[in-house]
Structure 1
C-alpha cells in the first residue's frame, strides 16, 4: 500500500512529525517498507510559461526558449527537452535555486547562448521518476507561483508492507482509523450522501455465481465529457501512490480504490448488450483483457458478462472490448463484493497481479460497494459532468459475511500483556478502530466492523490493544513457569542422532522444497496417487513430492554442474500420497556419486559402487541393534532403479525402501553419469531400536560346524540366511559366510558357498549328535528352499 503523507494528514489529525509517524505505524504492525520525501528544496522553482522557442544556432537538439514568470521581461532559457514548445506551462528553476541532488542553478552559456535558469523534469525536481521530458503543468496553472505551493509540496510517498490479515488498511480511510487510534485523534472523513439522480437509464443484473459473488451494484452515467482532464490534486495523489494518471474515468476509479479500498470498474455502456450477468466462466472460455493479453479461463473463474459475451474477469481485470475510451460518453460503473476464496490465486493463474486482485483475495468490506459507487459518481459528475441513473443492486444477503461479536475478558487481557490497561483506554482504542464496544461484568463485548475480517477470537482483541497501547509500554519480564522435559523414548533412535551418524559418514544434509514439477515426476515414473496443489506458486512447484529422490537428485545435478564430482547428500523429510486426508510418510533418502573415497594417497581411486552405499546403509541399520530383521532382495524393483544393480529393502519381510544405481535411461535423461547411486526408505522402521537387556555370560560353550553347498547363481544370501535361521531357531547364534567360489568343478549358472554355523544352547552343552542334527536340518532347508546341494 503506497500513499501520500499529506493525503493521510487530511483524513486524520497527526500530532507527530514524519519520522514519528513512520515509527508508530511500524510498531503497530503496519510496517513502513519505504519512505520517499518528495519536493524538498524547491525554493526558487516557479510556474513558468514558454512564450517563444527557436532552434539553437549551434546545436540541433537544443532550443532557445523565451519563458515568462509573470513579471518583468521573459527569461532566455536554453533547453534540450523534446517536449519543449510554445504555450505549455512548466517548472522553472531560477538562478540561485538548489535542486534535489545538489544541482545549483547559475547563469551559464550553452554553445555560446546565455541561459538564465533551467526548465525541469519531474525527476530533476525529485517528485517522480519520469525524466523523459519537461513536467507539463495544467494550462490554468498560475504563472509565477512557487511550484511547491501549487503542487502541495513538500510531501512524502509512504509504502507499507501489510500482512494479509489487514486488507482494511489497503484504503486510506481504513488506515486513518488505525492512525487515529495511535495518536488519540479522530478520523476527518466528511459525511457522504447520495449523488443526485438525474437520469433514468437502467440495466438488469443477475447473480449466477452463488456465494462467490453475493453483492453487485451498478449505475449508468450518461453524457460524460470524454475529454475532461483529471484535476491536478487528484492526479498528484495518484502519482504519489505509484499510479500513472490515464483518463478522468479511470483515474477516479483508482482514486476511490486508494481512498476507500474498494476496487471499481467502468464499462462503455454503449458496448453492453442486455442484462449484466455475474457467473462462472465456462471451460475453455477466453477473454481479451485490458492489457491486450488473452485470458484462457475455466469454471473456477467468476466473470462479469452481458447476455452475449464476457466483459471482465471478476476481481482481476476488465475486458478490452468493453473498455472506456476517448470516445466514450456513457458508462456503466460497477462495484461488487466477491468472496476472497473466489478470487484467491486467479490473477496468478493468468500470470498477473493487479491492485484489484490484491485487495479482493484478502477481503474487501462487503458494505463498501455502495459507498464507493456514490463517491465515484460524485467525483465523475464534478469532473466530467453527465447524468447519473439510479443505483442498481443485486445481492444474496444470506451469503454475505456477518460481523463477529467477541468477548474480551479483563483478566485475560492483563494476564497476556502483563500490564494493567485502564478500562477507558481499552474502550477508546476499540472505538477509534471503528468497533462497537459494550462493557460487561468481566470485560467488554466487541463487535468488529465489516471491514475487519481478522477479528475472530479473544486473542485478536488482545493483539489490537497491545499494538495500539504500544509494545514499548509493555514491560519486559523473564518468563516464569515449570518446564516439562520431553521424554525421549528409548526404543526409538533420535532423528538428530541419525543425521549426525550420516554426517559422520561424509554426507551433507539437504533441505528441498516439498513441491515438484509434474513433468519431472513423470520422467521418474511417478504418476499414481499424486497430490496436486490447487494454487501452486508456479508450474515447477505444482505437485507435492511422492518421493525425496527427484528433488535430491536435482540438488546433486546442481552440484555436479558446478564441478563437484564427488557428491554425498541425504535428506530426512516427508513424502505425500493421495488420500483423504493426504498421507504423509517420514522418509530418508541418500544420493551419492563420484569416487568411493575422497582424494588421498592411502589407496587407489575407484568409482563408487552398489556395495559402498549398502555399507553405509548397513552401518545405520546396525545401530538399531536388529540387523537380522532386515533383508535385501533383487525382485520388485521400481522403474527408476537399475535392474541389475538394485535391491528392494525389507524389514520383517515388508518392503520399506530401495537401494541401487539409477536406471541408465533415467540417468541419461537427467544428464547424469552411470555412477549415481541412491537409497530411499521409510524412516520409522529405521529409527526402531532394540532395547539393551543384560544377560549372563553363557555357561555352556558354542559349537561350530562348517558346510559348503552349491546352489543356483540367482539365489541371494538373504534367502539362504532366512532358510537356515528358520530351520535351526534359537540354537543358531551366528551364520558366517567365509567363502564364495564359481568356476572349475562347479556347474555353469551355480555357485559354491562355504559358511560356518555357530551353535549354542543356554541350558546345556551341545553334543556331536546335536551339532550333526543341526547340520542335517540346515542342509535339508537349503535343498528345499534354495535348490542347494551339499558339497563333499
Structure 2
C-alpha cells in the first residue's frame, strides 16, 4: 500500500515538522512493515509554470517534425512576454494549456533547462511530458495537456503536487484494513495520540423500495450488497488533476472519471467498488455461484470458463462480473467518443454502483483459480469492513455528482444477512500474563479502545471487536494489540527456562548420527522440498500398483505440477544431481534424510487442538492418528568418480557396490543386521539391484533398495550414465536394532582369529553366508570379514569359494583354542545348513 503523506494529513493533524521518515518510524514501532519512503520531486526544481500555446510553426527543413511554439506563461518569466520554445511532440494544439519548464529549472535526472539555439531558432524553455516530470504512467503519452480552467503563469509544481513523500507499506495478511488510507490513518492517529477524522463517517440514506433490484442467491458468499444509481453524467467530464495525482502516487493508473472515482474510494475507505453502465445491464442484478461451463469475458478482454465455486454477478442474461475480482466487458463503462457526423459526444451517462461484501476464502480461491489477481481481490481476501459498503457507495455518489454533474437517484438498495457483533471475553490481566509486563486494566482498556473495540467489565472484560478487524478472534489477538501499541521495544528480555532432562529423542539422535556418518564418507547433504508429482513417479518406472504411487494429495498445493507429498526421497535427490551436473560438477555423491508420507488405511481426520491449554494425551493421540504415516528415510545418489584420479594414479568410478556400502554404513550406525539380496525393483537396473533386508522380531523385512539405476530412468531424468542410488527406511532399521546399540567395549583379553573358506553355489550372496556365520558363531564373535573370493577349476563350475576371517574374543577371559574352534565349527554348521556351504578342502 502506497500512502502519500499529503493525503494522510487530511485525516490526521500531524505536526508540520513531521517528515515521512518520522511517520515511518512511528508506524514500524506500531507493528506495520513500512519498507521505504519515496521522495517525490527529488531532483526537481522550478520554475515550472502553466502556459497557454499561442502559436505553432511547423519547421519542415529537418529529418523529423519540429515545431516552433510561442507560449504565454503569464508573469512567471519575469517579463510577461510569450516564451519561445522548440518542441518535437505533436499531441497539443494552439490554445492548449501545458506545463513549461523555464530556464533555470532542473528536471529529474539532473536535466538542466537553459536557453539554447537549436534547429536555427532559440528555445527558451521546454514543454514537459509526464515522464520528464517523474509522474509515472498516467495512461497517456506525450505532452501534459491541462484542463482549460487554469490560468497561465501559475505554479505548475504546486498544481501537479510534484513534491510529496510516499510511504510504501507491506501489508501482512492479518492487517487488511491497512490497504486503505482510512486504516493507515487510524494507525497513525493511534501512534501519535491524535484524533482521527474518519472518512467513512457520512450521512447515508437508509434503504427504500426505489433502488435498483438486487437478488442474492448465495448469502454465505455475499452477505451485504449496496446498489446506488447516478444519472445524467457528463460523458466529457474528466478526472481532475488532484484525483489523478493521488491515484498515481498510490500506484494506480488513471482510466476514466467513473473508474477513477471507484478506485479512489477503494483506496480511501478500503471497500472495492464496481460501476456498471446501467444501459447495458438487463434486469435484476444477482449474486450466485457460477454454473459449470458458463463463460465470462472480463475487463482484461480474456474469455474465461467459470468454475462452479466461482461467485459471479449476474443480470437476466447471465454473468456480468467475477465477484470481488473483476467486472465483465459486457457492462463496461464506455469511453467518451464523438460522433463523426454530428460531433455529438457519446459515452456512459448512467451508472449503477455496486458496493458489496464477499466471502474472503471464495474470492481468494477464484483469483488463484483464474490467475487473476486484482486490487479488489487483494483486499477482499484479506478482509474488508462489512459495514463500510454503504458509506463507500455514498462517497462514490457524492464524487460523481460533484465531478461529473450527475444526479443521484433517490433509490437505495441494501441487502444484508443478519449478523451480530463479535465479542471476546478476556481476563483484564491476560495481556500482562502474555507479555510478562504489568500493564494494568486502564492501559489494556485504553489500547483496545484505540483499536476500535468497545470494552465492558472489570476483572473480566467483554470486548466487542470492530467490524474492520476480522483478524481479532481470541484473547491472544487482543493481547497482541495491547503489546504492539505499548511498544515491543518495552518488553523485557528474559531467557526461557526449559525443564531439565529433555534432550534429543532416540530418533533425532539416529538422524544426526546417520548424517555425520554419510558426510564423513564423502557425501554432501542436499535438502529438497517434500512435494512430488505423478510425472516423477512415471520417470522412476514404478508400476501402477506400486505402494509409492499412493500419495497424500495437498488441498492447496504450492505448484499444480507437484500436488502431493513425496513417498520417496529419490526424485528430489536425482533432481539436485541433474542440476549440479548441468552446472559442471561431474563427480557427485549426495544424501538426504527426511520424512516421506503414506496415506495409510482408511480416511483420517485430524482434530483441531485447543490453544488455551496443553492438549491432553488423548487429544494428541487423536491428532497423531489423523496424520498420514511419516517414516524417516535415508537416501544417497552418486555419479562420476568415487575415488578421484590424479598424479597418484587412476581413479575409480562409483558403482552399485558403493550404493550398497552406503546402506551398510547406515546400518552400522543403528546396530541392526543388514543383508543385500539380488532383486528387481522400480528405477534400478534388474541385474544390479539389491534388496536391503533386515530382521524385525525374527521376521525378514525389506527396508530398501540399492544399486545402479535403469538406463531408461537415467535417460528420462537426464542423468549421467551409470548413476547409482540407495534408499532405505531408517525407522524400520531402528526397530530391528532395538536397544542393542551402545558404546563399544574394549576388552583387555587377546583375540582369537580363525579363517574359514566355504564353497557355495555361485548365485548365493556373500552377505547371506556372512549372516549365517554370524548367527551360528554366537556372542563370542567380535567381527567377520570377507577377504577372498575364488572361482576356478579347483572348485568346479557353478561354484565359488568365500574366505572369511572370524575374530573371537570374550569380555571376561582369554579364550581357549577349544572354545574358538567350537564357535568356528558352529558357524560353519549354520552356513552349511542354511546356504549349502561346504568347507573347502573337506
Instruction: Report the TM-score when normalising by structure 2.
Output: 0.84
- What is the alpha-carbon distance in structure 1 between the residues aligned to residue 25 and residue 649 of structure 2? 65
Summarize deviations over 1:165-219 as a string: whole Å, max 9, x none: 10011111122111110111111135312269999463241323x5333333334
* Correspondent of 1:339 among 359, 363, 367: 359
1:435 equivalent to 2:453? Answer: yes
Deviates more, 1:324-333 or 1:757-766: 757-766
1:353 equivalent to 2:373? Answer: yes
Deviates more, 1:111-120 or 1:529-538: 529-538
1:523 equivalent to 2:523? Answer: no
1:448 equivalent to 2:465? Answer: yes
**Secondary structure, aligned partner of 2:27:** helix
Residues 145, 699 of structure 1: alpha-carbon distance in 2 compared, 3 angstrom cutoff: closer
Residue of structure 2 equivalent to 1:135 = 144
Summarize deviations over 1:679-698 as a string: whole Å, max 9, x none: 22223345666343798969
Shift of 1:740: 2.9
Contact 2:756 2:839 in 1 (8 A): no
**Secondary structure, aligned partner of 2:830:** helix
Deviates more, 1:553-562 or 1:673-682: 673-682
Residues 680, 457 of structure 1: alpha-carbon distance in 2 compared, 3 angstrom cutoff: same
Structure 2: segments with no counterpart, 5+ residues? 336-346, 543-547, 605-626
Contact 1:216 1:337 in 2 (8 A): yes
Contact 1:199 1:222 in 2 (8 A): no
Residue of structure 2 equivalent to 1:690 = 740
* Correspondent of 1:99 among 97, 104, 107: 107
1:501 equivalent to 2:517? Answer: yes
Contact 1:199 1:221 in 2 (8 A): no
Contact 2:772 2:831 in 1 (8 A): no
Residue of structure 1 equivalent to 2:685 = 642
Summarize deviations over 1:297-327 as a string: whole Å, max 9, x none: 3233222233432222222222222322233
Residue of structure 2 equivalent to 1:26 = 28
Residue of structure 2 equivalent to 1:587 = 633
Shift of 1:741: 3.1
Counterpart mapping for 1:441-480 below 5 A: 441=459, 444-472=461-489, 474=490, 476-477=492-493, 479=495
Residue of structure 2 equivalent to 1:403 = 422
* Correspondent of 1:716 among 765, 768, 774: 765
**Secondary structure, aligned partner of 1:678:** strand
Contact 2:209 2:412 in 1 (8 A): no
Summarize deviations over 1:725-778 as a string: whole Å, max 9, x none: 566765777665454333435565443445567789999975799679747843
- What is the alpha-carbon distance in structure 2 between the residues aligned to residue 37 and residue 696 of structure 1? 74
Contact 1:723 1:781 in 2 (8 A): no
Deviates more, 1:588-597 or 1:288-297: 288-297
Residue of structure 2 equivalent to 1:548 = 569
Contact 2:513 2:669 in 1 (8 A): no
Residue of structure 1 equivalent to 2:14 = 14
Counterpart mapping for 1:83-232 below 5 A: 83-128=91-136, 132-190=141-199, 191-194=201-204, 200=210, 202-208=212-218, 211-232=220-241
Residues 715, 269 of structure 1: alpha-carbon distance in 2 compared, 3 angstrom cutoff: farther
- What is the alpha-carbon distance in structure 1 between the residues aligned to residue 165 and residue 372 of structure 2? 28
- What is the alpha-carbon distance in structure 1 between the residues aligned to residue 379 and residue 494 of structure 2? 40
Contact 2:753 2:805 in 1 (8 A): no
- What is the alpha-carbon distance in structure 1 between the residues aligned to residue 182 and residue 210 of structure 2? 32
- How many residues align? The count is 779
Residue of structure 1 equivalent to 2:391 = 371
Residues 572, 672 of structure 1: alpha-carbon distance in 2 compared, 3 angstrom cutoff: same
Shift of 1:45: 1.1
* Correspondent of 1:38 among 32, 35, 40: 40
Residues 694, 3 of structure 1: alpha-carbon distance in 2 compared, 3 angstrom cutoff: closer
Summarize deviations over 1:657-697 as a string: whole Å, max 9, x none: 22112211010112222221112222334566634379896
**Secondary structure, aligned partner of 1:256:** helix
Summarize deviations over 1:253-308 as a string: whole Å, max 9, x none: 11111111111122333333443332333444432221112333323322223343
**Secondary structure, aligned partner of 1:446:** strand
Contact 2:778 2:823 in 1 (8 A): no
**Secondary structure, aligned partner of 2:727:** strand
Deviates more, 1:504-513 or 1:425-434: 425-434
Contact 2:239 2:403 in 1 (8 A): yes
Residue of structure 2 equivalent to 1:633 = 677
Contact 1:733 1:759 in 2 (8 A): yes
Contact 2:12 2:195 in 1 (8 A): yes
Residues 415, 463 of structure 1: alpha-carbon distance in 2 compared, 3 angstrom cutoff: same
Contact 2:789 2:802 in 1 (8 A): yes
- What is the alpha-carbon distance in structure 1 between the residues aligned to residue 91 and residue 751 of structure 2? 107
Deviates more, 1:268-277 or 1:174-183: 268-277
Residues 137, 767 of structure 1: alpha-carbon distance in 2 compared, 3 angstrom cutoff: closer
* Correspondent of 1:55 among 48, 55, 58: 58
Residue of structure 1 equivalent to 2:653 = 607
Contact 2:266 2:273 in 1 (8 A): yes
Residues 346, 525 of structure 1: alpha-carbon distance in 2 compared, 3 angstrom cutoff: farther
**Secondary structure, aligned partner of 1:577:** coil
Structure 1: segments with no counterpart, 5+ residues? none
Shift of 1:20: 0.7
- What is the alpha-carbon distance in structure 1 between the residues aligned to residue 380 and residue 448 of structure 2? 25
Residues 542, 135 of structure 1: alpha-carbon distance in 2 compared, 3 angstrom cutoff: farther
Contact 2:808 2:820 in 1 (8 A): no
Residue of structure 2 equivalent to 1:69 = 73
**Secondary structure, aligned partner of 2:675:** strand
- What is the alpha-carbon distance in structure 2 between the residues aligned to residue 253 and residue 779 of structure 1? 87
Contact 2:510 2:670 in 1 (8 A): no
Summarize deviations over 1:472-527 as a string: whole Å, max 9, x none: 4x165453756646334579735334323222222222122223444334322467
**Secondary structure, aligned partner of 1:125:** coil
Contact 1:731 1:760 in 2 (8 A): yes
**Secondary structure, aligned partner of 1:452:** coil
Summarize deviations over 1:97-117 as a string: whole Å, max 9, x none: 333443333222222211222
**Secondary structure, aligned partner of 1:346:** helix
Q: CA RMSD in A?
A: 3.4
Residue of structure 2 equivalent to 1:559 = 580
- What is the alpha-carbon distance in structure 1 between the residues aligned to residue 746 and residue 161 of structure 2? 94
**Secondary structure, aligned partner of 2:368:** helix
Deviates more, 1:499-508 or 1:326-335: 326-335
Contact 1:222 1:331 in 2 (8 A): yes
**Secondary structure, aligned partner of 1:321:** helix
Contact 2:298 2:328 in 1 (8 A): yes
Contact 1:218 1:392 in 2 (8 A): yes
Contact 2:773 2:828 in 1 (8 A): no
Contact 1:733 1:758 in 2 (8 A): yes
Shift of 1:533: 3.2
Residues 695, 668 of structure 1: alpha-carbon distance in 2 compared, 3 angstrom cutoff: closer
1:294 equivalent to 2:340? Answer: no
Contact 1:100 1:125 in 2 (8 A): yes
Counterpart mapping for 1:623-772 below 5 A: 623-626=669-672, 629-635=673-679, 637-652=680-695, 653-685=700-732, 690-692=740-742, 704=754, 706=756, 708-711=758-761, 713-723=762-772, 737-744=786-793, 748-755=797-804
**Secondary structure, aligned partner of 1:453:** coil
- What is the alpha-carbon distance in structure 2 between the residues aligned to residue 555 and residue 588 of structure 1? 15
- What is the alpha-carbon distance in structure 2 between the residues aligned to residue 622 and residue 769 of structure 1? 27
Contact 2:553 2:565 in 1 (8 A): yes
Residues 770, 116 of structure 1: alpha-carbon distance in 2 compared, 3 angstrom cutoff: closer
Residues 347, 693 of structure 1: alpha-carbon distance in 2 compared, 3 angstrom cutoff: closer
**Secondary structure, aligned partner of 1:300:** coil
